[in-house]
Structure 1
């Protein structure tokens, strides 16, 4: 089964700013659209991002009129002071910006989000031009799949087409994304594979397995002689 990709989850209409956008226009862009950050584009290519945190230093340091941080101040504090004197997106943006491509698997995108510690990733094409944005909320939409849809996919795709198991021999119940499996398969390896595939299915919250097997093909015969 193919995993959903970024292309199927991302938001394609992206509100963005230009590197030359004024400070006031940036504030208005965030306020009017009720968003917390925008990508900054240069010729259609994302070169940075401006968030509310990048704009607040203007007030924190009173537009740069406060004394510059001392020599022992941290790098982050010095950067905020520099942002306070900025007048365009280029001056205040945080860069470089983290980007991904639309063919990336959803699970890989989730790992990228976690590793980067950001709320969103900007999606670019092969030329590096912005084509969308993927947020944490976009990924969470996977868990809104209907229980009946999950049940059908598990029964027909996993047991029927992937494992070649008669779906009638297995009971699949799904409630609020939690899957309960019951029934008897021929081999222990089939039980293990089935449980793994169901748990990895996008939209599944948890799996309770009561599957049984006719014989354990995962145990070496010699082990059975010694320990059996």
Structure 2
């Protein structure tokens, strides 16, 4: 299963040292066609980010000192800066390489940003963007169906052949058949919902006996999405 940030991120990210100069950073962004570059210390730990907006502070007219709040002072500092350590915004939004794609999507949305810097043991190892997360939805329906049949029904739930069927249409999964218990039915729906590329799940599975109230591993996740 492709479920972690490390599997969709861009590896070997472009980064600069704190003493990198203004013109070098600007040239690097233009050449690589990127809008921001992380600043890393000697151990590879991200300590800041220099964006196009940070570089453009040099071209903006400073606000009158009378109205100079924290933001204005920060702008003034960047307008006079020559090195990455003075140009950068010190707040770096990172995510662990082993985090789920869902966790990355939530963090991107909450911070209202386009990319996250990926770390492993506190060191920069990659960059994951909104586009990277959306790449999972390009998976073919047949590939999704095969993963659910093989890894979830046959592998995890040990469902005998012929007891359940899976169809996938434009990322929407439909589960049909009859399993031994309500818990197995709910788990089949929840696990299918986590498969990369799945847009929604129609769980039409029936069960033989109702074991409601028993706790099953893997059911601590939120309720699965159900397509209309």
With the length of structure 1 as denominator, give the TM-score of the two structures: 0.82
Matched, 1:189 2:183: yes
In 2, the alpha carbon distance for the partners of 1:131 and 1:184 equals 45
What residue is the counterpart of 2:223 in the other structure?
none
Q: Deviations over 1:136-163 (max 9, x none)?
A: 2222222222211110111121111211
Query: Structure 1 residues 77 and 147 mapped into 2: Cα distance closer, same or farther (>3 Å)?
Result: same
More helix as a share of residues: 1
Seen in structure 2, the aligned counterparts of structure 1 residues 69 and 207 have a Cα distance that, compared at 3 Å, is farther
> Greater shift after overlay, 111-120 or 204-213?
111-120
- Determine if contact 1:3/1:105 at 8 Å carries over to the other structure: no
Q: What is the DSSP-based 3-state SS (H/G/I as helix, E as strand, rest coil) of the residue aligned with 1:213? A: strand
Which of 144, 160, 181 lines up with 2:138 in the alignment?
A: 144
2:218: which partner in 1?
none
1:90-135 deviations in Å (ceiling 9; x for gaps): 1110013233332333333333333443322222332x33222222
Q: Aligned runs of 1:13-92 on 2, under 5 Å?
A: 13-43=12-42, 44-61=44-61, 66=62, 68-70=64-66, 72-92=67-87
Gap regions ≥5 residues in structure 2: 215-228
Q: Whole-Å Cα distance in 2 between the matches of residues 186 and 131 of structure 1?
A: 44
Alpha-carbon distance between aligned partners in 1 of 2:187 and 2:113, rounded to the nearest angstrom: 34
**Structure with the greater alpha carbon radius of gyration:** 1
- Quote the RMSD (CA, aligned, Å): 2.3
Once the two structures are TM-superposed, the CA of residue 164 in structure 1 deviates from its matched residue by 1.5
Q: What is the CA–CA distance in structure 2 between the aligned matches of 1:145 and 1:69, rounded to whole Å?
A: 55
Counterpart Cα distance in 2 of 1:86 and 1:46: 19
Q: What's the CA shift for 1:68?
A: 4.2
For 1:90-169, list aligned pairs within 5 A: 90-126=85-121, 128-169=122-163
Q: Is the 8 A contact 1:155 1:167 kept in 2?
A: no
SS at match of 2:10: coil
Distance change >3 Å, CA 176–CA 69, structure 1 → 2: farther
CA distance in 1 between partners of 2:18 and 2:164 (Å): 58
Distance, in Å, in 2 between the alignment partners of 1:37 and 1:59 is 17
- What's the TM-score, normalizing by structure 2? 0.82
Instruction: Kindly indicate whether the alpha-carbon contact (under 8 Å) linking 2:38 and 2:48 is maintained by their aligned counterparts in 1.
Output: yes
